[in-house]
Amino acid sequence: MGTPSDIKLIDENGLRVDGRTPEQLRPIKIQTDVLNRADGSAYIEWGGNKIMVAVYGPREAYPRHTQDIERAIVKARYNMAAFSVDERKKPGPDRRSVEISKVISEALQAAILVEQFPRAQIDVFIEVLQADAGTRIAGLTAASVALAAAGVPMRDLVVGCTAGKVDGQIVLDLCREEDNFGQADLPMAILARSGKVVLIQMDGDLTTEEFDRATSMILNATKRINQIQREALQGKYIAEQGGE
Ligand code: ADP
């Protein structure tokens, strides 16, 4: 974060570095069943982000001492490929990916009917192939589609978006330049129907009015994103009924 004064993120027509209006989302595409060996999978392209998700389980939790006798444990692992960013990212977990894995696991846990699967674990692998800001939310949004595609019983889909502040303005769905040089970044995810907040984080500073504006922009956008999730899942069921 930080705003070098020579970087202008909103032009004289009110448009952003990639030509979007303040409340415009980047293009989003979701496809299910892209991996044969996973129980469920989804691939998402969200702006410049490209992310693959594979779901395995519910299956007996191992090692056994990690089992919860009352519910399944949800283990999401967020990983950025070495080639996903401009400069090669050192492979393996770092503080950021451990944190993101934890908040995504908790958000998914709130959506899954974990009490139906005591002693089980559900693994969710989120592989970021290309990163362009908003990867935790794009990964989480795709992960809930992959879980549904795997037939894991869920209360609801998890859907999210990011908003932030650039050049003093609140805008939806930050791209990389806006994330790097903007003044605030607020990723948030909810359960689609109930609206329950399952992930919220903030980097930077917002006034309470700005915070309210950012969250209402996000909530509005989640309706459109949830529609894309449902269309992706319907596509799956149409394909299955078609006897492929
Ligand atoms: P999110 O991807 O959820 O927005 P961050 O705000 O931490 O998470 O990261 C914003 C963006 O910064 C990422 O999407 C990615 O484009 C870039 N980025 C993150 N980590 C690295 C890294 N280790 N090297 C280069 N770029 C990175």
Q: In what order do the strands lie in the sheet with 120-130?
A: 28-32, 40-46, 49-60, 120-130, 73-80
The full 3-state SS of 161-214, as one line of letters, equals EEEEEECCEEEECCCHHHHHHCCEEEEEEEECCCCCEEEECCEECCCHHHHHHH
| Ligand 1 pocket test, candidate residues 26, 46, 85, most atoms within 8 A of CB | 85
DSSP bridge pairs for 30: 44
- Specify whether the CB–CB gap between 99 and 203 falls below 8 A: no
Distance CA(140)–CA(242), nearest Å, equals 29
Residue 243 scores a pLDDT above 70: no
Distance CA(72)–CA(122), nearest Å, equals 7
DSSP bridge pairs for 74: 122
Model pLDDT for residues 91-148, shown as the tens digit of each residue: 999 999 999 999 999 999 999 999 999 999 999 999 999 999 999 999 999 999 999 9
Tell me, which fold does domain 28-239 have in CATH? Ribosomal Protein S5; domain 2 (3.30.230)
- Specify whether the CB–CB gap between 170 and 213 falls below 8 A: yes
Which CA distances in Å does 17 have to 12, 87, 177?
11, 21, 8
ipTM of the prediction greater than 0.90, yes or no: yes
Regarding the beta carbon of 178 and ligand 1, being less than 6 Å apart is answered no
Cα(242) to centroid of ligand 1, in Å?
40
Q: Which of 126-130, 198-202, 236-240 has the least mean pLDDT?
A: 236-240
**pTM of the shown model:** 0.96
Which of 36, 39, 34 minimizes the C-alpha distance to 150? 39
Cα(93) to centroid of ligand 1, in Å?
14
Regarding the beta carbon of 131 and ligand 1, being less than 6 Å apart is answered yes
Domain definitions of the chain by residue range: 28-239
The percent of residues above 90 in pLDDT, for the chain, comes to 93
Regarding the beta carbon of 50 and ligand 1, being less than 6 Å apart is answered no
